[in-house]
Amino acid sequence: MTVTTTRPAEAPAEVAPPVSRGSRFTGAAANYIDERTSISGLVKELGRKIFPDHWSFMLGEVALYSFITILLSGTFLTFFFQPSMAEVHYSGSYVPLKGIDMSAAYASSLDISFDIRGGLLFRQIHHWAALLFIASIGLHMLRVYFTGAFRKPREINWVIGFLLLILAMAEGFTGYSLPDDLLSGNGLRIIDGMLKGIPVVGTWISYLLFGGEFPSTDIVARLFTLHILLLPAILVAALGLHLLLMVVNKHTQFAGPGRTNDNVVGVPVLPIFAAKAGGFFFVVFGVIVLIASFFTINPIWNYGPYDPSPVSAGTQPDWYIGFADGALRLVPPGWEFVLWDHTWSFNIILVLAVVGIFLAVVAAYPFIEGWVTGDKREHHIADRPRNAPVRTAIGAAGVTFYAVLWAAASSDLIATHFKVTIEGVIHVLQALLFIGPVIAYFIAKRVCVGLQKKDREIALHGFESGRIVRLPGGEYVEVHEQLDDYERWRLVSYNDYKPLMIRPNAEGRITMSQRMRASMSRWFFEDRITPISQNEIESGEHH
Amino acid sequence: MAQHDDGGTSTAAGSAVEKAVPFVPSAGTAVVTSDAIKNPGLPPHRERVTDLDPKKDRQAERRVYTLFYLSIVGSVFAVAAYIAFPITPGDTASVRLNTLMLGLGIALGMLGIGIGAIYWSKNLMRGDELTESRHLTRGSDATRARAAEIMHEGNVESGIGRRSLIRNSLIGALVATPLPAIVIFRDLAPAKDPVKLLKETMWAKGTRLTRDPTGTPIKASEVTLGSVFHVIPEGLNDKEDRLEEKAKAAVLLMRLKPEDLHVSKGRETWNYNGIVAYSKICTHVGCPVALYEQQTHHLLCPCHSSTFDVTNECEVIFGPAKRPLPQLPISVDSEGYLVAQSDFTEPVGPSFWERS
């Protein structure tokens, strides 16, 4: 579009507005680039692309922008950090540690904190942004899950997003371990212990990873390579793919008047979405900087250099590792056996299995639900969580399961803060790990069905207006007011599924998988509340 | 009215390409009703105050550029703060001030742009919503047909489907090429067998027990009832691989009343007048078991709450650990210093596959 302004001869002379110097320059520049890159096609394709608006769509943006913040602040840190475990004599300006032997990694982390202007600020920006990154990925995933935005055609993007979560946690853990302080060293010690618990290959995996016996002198350099090269490269590639697929699939939108499965209603990229999203990047960055200026995170100088012997009570991992650490704590005593001349550490194998299966179910969920419904249509309208009660209930159960593991990571702090025994806390959490998800499941499902019934009631009979009218016969009634069409549409437009009826296949047989699918389908859709039909509305208007 | 289907039979992959009928994906068990309520369409657009009142419009414009100017002020302030609030070596207050002022400047620089741009887009840019139509994600039938044709041509022209020897040998070659990339990582760790290393520590007959971290030896007479010592073997601090050795050899030393100790057969001589030494490395995943409860004689691992009973040879009384902490047999030498009788009699620290 801008290109045409460079060729005023083509436009009728009397229509052409006076061209300012600024726009002449933009036009010339655009022409220059387009003649060499064909970029006008991209602008035409994407420039007016529509993005729907909802506060929950921001969560993914927060993740993206905190990642950019991490990249920028991390790059600054690499100029000062020394990923080496060579022993040095600390001579920096943090007095309490003067003269102590420590690794170059720890010493340079102290230098970043105490001798380089802005160093502490950027360390804290980097750490806070990392915490926010993983938190916002988690919330973004919950939003996608509870609104069913993972359904066709977005199943692959769900899996890529899941991969991004795993990569983000790996980035978090490798970065956390780099300063080689006492706390992170203990974290590595736990990783070492867990690796050694893996049957057959565990001892060797630990030996190869650490480059010898724990802690050895290689691990920081190796984690550094993973942290700043390998993992970010994979992460950026996966992130690019994630965004590309989002553009290809176009964003989901919530049900609303005028919004259908075949359109996108919202604001165009240029100029509104670009201004909003671009502005939001600066807001996210700014808020992280603000937090980092006011609140200390990971004060490594208080912990001292890594030493396998000391440890302090009540130490905690970064929040996103908590669920795995909590799982380690919840294993009952004695789950380790010697069988066939080998040590089977089920107190570790079990944890790896439970965490692994939990994550696998998360990754596979879109395919499970797709198999149950057999629905091969594309879905672009985000569900309200209440309108998919069983999905929402499963999600609530999963969140509860995670929350119990997470709480278990702080079992000792819970015990000291609430003045209860640590054994009591562990036993309660062990029980909650099984009972909690079941309770959450049923509560969530009942709440969803209840809300659906309420929606149905309001859509059919309107809402109570609070106006009491006395009829000629002396009877008092409360006037119900009908919703207008726009409000009603939000309540009644959702997908409805029936439980699957088992039918024999072409060979006249009922297969095992068909039976399983039918029972899953019954579980999902037995207690369904059907959406209101036009007929019901019309017959409802008469009484 | 309800259409029922038991699976995606109509959407077998690729089948739609050959068929001329328009593509209709299966709805599965979804209920598709003809009686659904009709979408009422987009509600009428509501104008904002900035659309209606030119004064409000100018006010909003003033706010936006004020925010952008504030951003400039913030960035300039950050640069000034970098110089004006330097770090004085040894003065943590100066570090805090530098962090705070620099951070406030940068944050203002960021937030000014961010809030300004969002305010601009919400109040001054076009306020109504636009609609764009979606299309099926799959390519059009013509595109898919052409794509299939191209793949077919590729197959025919290369003969990859027909010339099975070429294809299979290529697959074999491609599978084999990453093998060196795996093998070259063998030297991540030294050639030595890790299992042997994991089964031995620095402790040996006659090695003195010394204080952690100073390395001064401990006389039996210094270990009073109820006291606890963090112990390393003598000479550890001079070792090249100090931390690796310490990660296996760290020991806790405690003195209990001899009658409180339940000593099993064969370990009668392992303590010295109620002074006992146990490995400090947790048998769960290897954290230091550093918390000693004097009254109950329990050792607690702060990482995962495994609890060991010192009176009962450190057997596990709570938590995920299974094995007791290994005991170091000790005695005294001629000068009265505590020494080890031998190395630990079993591997210390977390369990591993080849342990037993």
Q: Quick check: is B42 in a domain?
A: no
Pairing of strands B315-318, A476-481: unpaired
Could you tell me the pLDDT band of residue A357, with boundaries at 50, 70 and 90? very high
pLDDT for B11 equals 42
Q: Quick check: is B70 in a domain?
A: yes
pLDDT for B7 equals 41
Q: How far is B39 from chain A (nearest CA, A)?
A: 6
Q: Quick check: is B348 in a domain?
A: no
pLDDT for A16 equals 61
Could you tell me the pLDDT band of residue A14, with boundaries at 50, 70 and 90? low
| Structural domains in chain A plus CATH codes | 2-46 (no CATH), 60-255+265-307 (1.20.810.10), 443-540 (no CATH)
Whether residues B64 and B157 share a domain: the answer is no
Question: CB distance B43–A258 less than 8 Å?
Answer: yes
Average pLDDT score, chain A: 89
pLDDT above 90 covers a percentage of chain A that reads 56
> What value does the mean pLDDT take over residues A141-151?
94
Whether residues B235 and B285 share a domain: the answer is yes
Whether residues B83 and B4 share a domain: the answer is no
Q: What's B313's DSSP letter?
A: T
Q: What's B182's DSSP letter?
A: H
DSSP codes, A133-164 = HHHHHHHHHHHHHHTTTTSTT-HHHHHHHHHH
Nearest CB neighbour to B133, from listed A257, A262, A521: A262
Q: Quick check: is B350 in a domain?
A: no
Could you tell me which residue, A520 or A538, shows the higher pLDDT?
A520
The interface pTM score, or ipTM, of the predicted complex is 0.87
Q: How far is A468 from chain B (nearest CA, A)?
A: 30
CB neighbours of A220 closer than 8 A, spacing ≥ 6?
A83, A84, A85, A103, A105, A177, A178, A180
For B323, which residue in chain A has the nearest alpha carbon? A334
Whether residues B257 and B164 share a domain: the answer is no
> What value does the mean pLDDT take over residues A268-284?
93
pLDDT for B183 equals 92
Q: Which of A303-317, A397-411, B46-60, B140-154 has the lowest mean pLDDT?
A: A303-317
Which residue reads 């009922």 in tokens?
Answer: A510
Interface test with A, best of B23, B94, B101, B106 (most A CBs within 10 A): B106
Q: Quick check: is B44 in a domain?
A: no
Query: What CA–CA distance (Å, rounded) separates A304 from A325?
Result: 22
Whether residues B15 and B81 share a domain: the answer is no
Whether residues B237 and B160 share a domain: the answer is no
Q: Quick check: is B356 in a domain?
A: no
Nearest to B185 by CA among A199, A168, A170, A225: A225
Whether residues B307 and B260 share a domain: the answer is yes
Nearest CB neighbour to B99, from listed A120, A486, A514: A120
For A100, which residue in chain B has the nearest alpha carbon? B213
Whether residues B240 and B312 share a domain: the answer is yes
User: Cβ(A388)–Cβ(A523) under 8 Å?
Assistant: no
Indicate yes or no: pTM above 0.80: yes
Query: What CA–CA distance (Å, rounded) separates A121 from B96?
Result: 9
Burial class (CB in 10 A: 0-12, 13-18, 19+), B100: middle
pLDDT for A364 equals 95
Whether residues B301 and B333 share a domain: the answer is yes
Taking only the tens place, the pLDDT of each residue in A419-462 is 988 888 999 999 999 999 999 999 999 999 999 999 888 888 88
Q: Quick check: is B49 in a domain?
A: no
| Residues of chain B neighbouring A347 (CB-CB closer than 8 A) | 284, 320-322
Q: Quick check: is B129 in a domain?
A: no
Question: Residue A530 carries which side chain, given as an amino acid letter?
Answer: T
Give me the domain span that covers residue B157.
141-183
Whether residues B266 and B292 share a domain: the answer is yes
Whether residues B178 and B209 share a domain: the answer is no
Could you tell me the pLDDT band of residue A9, with boundaries at 50, 70 and 90? very low
CB neighbours of A380 closer than 8 A, spacing ≥ 6?
A249, A250, A252, A253, A261, A262, A264, B134
Q: Is B337 left (phi over 0), alpha (psi -120 to 50) or beta?
A: beta
Tell me: pLDDT of A312 over 90: no
Number of H-type helices and E-type strands within chain A: 20, 10
User: Cβ(A192)–Cβ(B243) under 8 Å?
Assistant: no
User: In this structure, what is the dihedral angle of CA atoms B274, B280, B283, B285, given to the nearest 10 degrees?
Assistant: 160
Q: What's A344's DSSP letter?
A: E
Q: What's the number of domains chain B is made of?
A: 4
Query: What CA–CA distance (Å, rounded) separates B217 from B226?
Result: 19
CATH value at residue B310 = 2.102.10.10
pLDDT for B10 equals 41
Stretches where chain B sits below pLDDT 50 are 1-19
User: Cβ(A235)–Cβ(A168) under 8 Å?
Assistant: yes
Whether residues B85 and B159 share a domain: the answer is no
User: Cβ(B231)–Cβ(B210) under 8 Å?
Assistant: yes
pLDDT for B9 equals 42
Measured CA angle at B127 (ends B126, B132), to 5 deg = 85
Tell me: pLDDT of A537 over 80: no
- In this structure, the number of other CB atoms found within 10 A of the CB of residue A395 comes to 19
User: In this structure, what is the dihedral angle of CA atoms B113, B117, B119, B120, given to the nearest 10 degrees?
Assistant: 130
Q: How far is B243 from chain A (nearest CA, A)?
A: 7
Interface test with B, best of A94, A191, A282 (most B CBs within 10 A): A282
Query: What CA–CA distance (Å, rounded) separates B16 from B25?
Result: 10
